[in-house]
Amino acid sequence: MSWITFGRIADALSIVSFVISLGIFRKIYAKAETQKEVYRIEREELLSQLSALQKNIWCDDLVSVKIQDQLQRAMYEYLQKYIFISSPVCIFHTYRCIHLLRVGLNESNSSKIRQDINYIMARLSKKE
Amino acid sequence: MDKQTSLLFIEKAIEKTKSNQLNWKILEDYSVPKSVSENYFLNPDNMNGYTVIGPGCFVSEYKSGLLLFFTFAPDTCMNPPHGCGFSLRIQDDISEYSVEIARTNKDTDINSQLIRLYNLIDDKISNHGSQILGDTGQTAALLVRDFLNS
C-alpha cells in the first residue's frame, strides 16, 4: 500500500471520527441541558433532605441504618441526576461519601462524611 | 403563621420529642376523639392531589390538645420521607378544626425541619416497637423469630 493511499484512509477516518465526536458532544450537551432543568426544579428538595439528615445525624445523634440509607440514597440520587453538570470536585465528594457509608458511619469517617455533605449542600445552594 | 414562629414551633417539637416530653403514636392506632376525627384531614386542594399515608401520620397528646403530624405523598407506595409532603397541626379540645403550624412548601428551612422531625418521630416509634418486642415472653419471641424466618 502506498503512503498516499494510507494518508487518504487516515484523512477519511479522521473526518468520520470528527463527525462521530460532534454527535457525542451534542448528546452530552442535550443530557446536560435536561439535567440542568431537573436541577432547577428539584435541587431545593434534595437540599432540604440533606440538611435534615445532617441535623439528624450530628445534632440529634440519630445514626440508625435507616438514616444512613437515606443519606446514601440522597447521594446516589445526586450522582444519577446531576453528574453531567457537576464539577470533578463535586463528583469526588459524592463518591467518597457513598464509599464511606458502605462501611457505615463511625468515629473515624464521620468528619469526612460531614465535609462531603457540606460540599454537596453548598453546591445545591447554587441556582443554575 | 409567619415563618419564624413556625420554625420556632418545629424546633420546640423537635426538642420535646428528643427529651420524650412528646409521646408520639401512629395516628391509625390512636383512638382520636369523635370531635376531631372528621376534621383533621387537609383539604386535598391544598396538597395538589396528594394522599395521606396512614402509617406515616403521627399524633401526640399535649396538655388538653393534640399535636398532629401528617405525611402526604402522590402515591401510597412512596417511601417517606422521600418525595413526601408534611403538615404539622395542633388541635385543641374546643375548636372544630385543627390549626396548621407548618407544611411543606418552597421554603427550604421549614422543609428540612419537617423532614428532621419526621425522622425523629419515626425513630422513636421504631425503638418503642423494638422495646415492646424485647419485653415479650420467651415463647412469643420464638414465635416472632419463627414467623420472620418462614
| CB contacts, 8 Å: B102 with chain A | none
B85-91 and B65-73 as β-strands: parallel, antiparallel, unpaired? antiparallel
Average pLDDT, chain B: 77
pLDDT in tens, B78-95: 678 888 889 898 888 777
| CB contacts, 8 Å: B115 with chain A | 48-49, 52-53
Rounded Cα distance between B141 and B139, Å, is 5
Share of chain B above pLDDT 90, in %: 26
Residue B30 has pLDDT above 80, yes or no: no
Predicted ipTM of the assembly? 0.79
Nearest Cα of chain B lies from the Cα of A48 at a distance, in angstroms, of 4
Beta strands (DSSP E) in chain B are: 25-26, 51-52, 58-62, 65-73, 85-91, 99-103
**Cell reading at A49:** 433532605
Query: Position B99: which residue type?
Result: V
pLDDT in tens, B94-144: 777 778 899 888 889 999 999 999 999 999 988 776 555 444 444 555 566
Contact B66, B89 (CB under 8 A): no
Nearest to B121, CA basis, from A51, A47, A52: A52
Q: What is the mean pLDDT of residues A64-89?
A: 91
Contact B118, A53 (CB under 8 A): no
Looking from the CA of B48 toward its CB, the CA atoms found within 13 Å total: 9
Please give the model's pTM, rounded to 2 decimal places: 0.79
Nearest to B120, CA basis, from B69, B48, B77, B45: B69
Q: Name the residue in chain B with its Cα closest to that of A67.
A: B119
Confidence class for position B40, pLDDT limits 50, 70, 90 = very low
Q: What is the predicted pLDDT for the residue at B35?
A: 47
Q: What is the predicted pLDDT for the residue at A75?
A: 94
Nearest to B13, CA basis, from B135, B130, B102: B102
Residue A9 has pLDDT above 70, yes or no: yes
Query: Position A111: which residue type?
Result: S
A-facing residues of B in 7-46 (CB < 8 A) are 14, 18
- Dihedral class, residue B20 (left if φ above 0, else alpha if ψ from -120 to 50, else beta): left
Paired with B66 in beta bridges are: B61, B91
Confidence class for position A23, pLDDT limits 50, 70, 90 = very high
| CB contacts, 8 Å: A124 with chain B | none
Sign of CA dihedral B138, B144, B145, B150: positive
